[in-house]
Amino acid sequence: MTGEDLKRVQNVFVEGSKTLLLRDGHLRYTGFVITHYKSLDKLFESGYGYAFIDPKDVVRDTKDDAITALIIDLSMNWKKLYHAVVTVFPQTEKTLAPLLAIGLEAKVDDPYKRLMRPFMSATQTDVKDVVAATMRQICERTSAFASIFQSEAWVRHVWPDENRDEIPDSLREDPKSVEVIVSSMETYEFARLVTVPIKRAPSAEKRDGGKIEGFGEPTETIDQPGDDNVLDGRMMRFLKPLTEAVL
């Protein structure tokens, strides 16, 4: 699978996100793991991730039926978060599983929430850390060609004469920020970031509360050997070097 093939696949998923936004008004965190179909078969046969991954969410490539994408809904409720944490951080199960059993036996209200909220706070773990660890582990287990993460986000360009300290921590509160679809892809050879501005009708309640009216022109940034672009973050640099991948 060439780099151009991977860009084509990413573009298809970006178009799919546009369709979902027009239909639902908002976009969930979504991950795409692109690999051989046989690798996903082995993953599911092992029982991996059955509590937070749906084996039906698999799309075969139209040009090469052996290539497939596993689509993962990464929006975490408390139950999904519990199962993701004990899967990607198995050392936590010895502590968390007995406590969950007590909560379930006592029939407390929302035992997963009562367990995971203090756990996340005490360990200073962000949900995005769990999402990133989940994607990284699936990529390793399936020798993925690429990992793609898509969501809504706010983008703010900062000019040299601006004071960064005056920019709000939440970009939603900054009138100069722009709401976008963000699609980040990591491959063995390059990383690619695509952002697409979201156009909404004005809303008196909140900036992202209006009806979607369309989309602006996409912006593409590519990070590959020999250029000056550097793309980094939780949802980047998932893949091992190709020589280390287990095929």
DSSP letters, the chain, are --HHHHHHHHHHHHHHHHHHHHHHSS---EEEEEEEHHHHHHHHHTTTTTTT--TT-EEE-SS-TTEEEEEEE----HHHHHHHHHHHSGGGHHHHHHHHHHHHHHT-SSHHHHHHHHHHHHTT--HHHHHHHHHHHHHHHHT-SEEEEEEEEEE----TTS-GGGS-SSGGG-TT-EEEEEEEEEESS-EEEEEEEEEE---SS-TT-SPEEEE---EEEEE-TTSS----STTS--SPPGGG---
Residue ending a domain, choose from 88, 122, 156: 122
Residues 99 and 131 placed together within one structural domain of the fold: no
Residues 115 and 154 placed together within one structural domain of the fold: no
Residues 103 and 149 placed together within one structural domain of the fold: no
Predicted local confidence at residue 67, as pLDDT:
85
Per-residue pLDDT of 82-113, as tens digits, reads: 999 999 999 999 999 999 999 999 888 999 99
Residue ending a domain, choose from 122, 154, 183: 122
Predicted local confidence at residue 189, as pLDDT:
85
Residues 95 and 176 placed together within one structural domain of the fold: no
The residue-averaged pLDDT of 166-175 equals 71
Predicted local confidence at residue 55, as pLDDT:
85
Total domains in the chain come to 2
The answer, yes or no, to whether residue 247 has pLDDT greater than 50, is no
Residues 51 and 117 placed together within one structural domain of the fold: no
Residues 157 and 240 placed together within one structural domain of the fold: yes
Domain that holds residue 52: 3-79+126-244
Predicted local confidence at residue 214, as pLDDT:
94
Residues 148 and 138 placed together within one structural domain of the fold: yes
Overall pTM surpassing 0.75 (yes/no)? yes
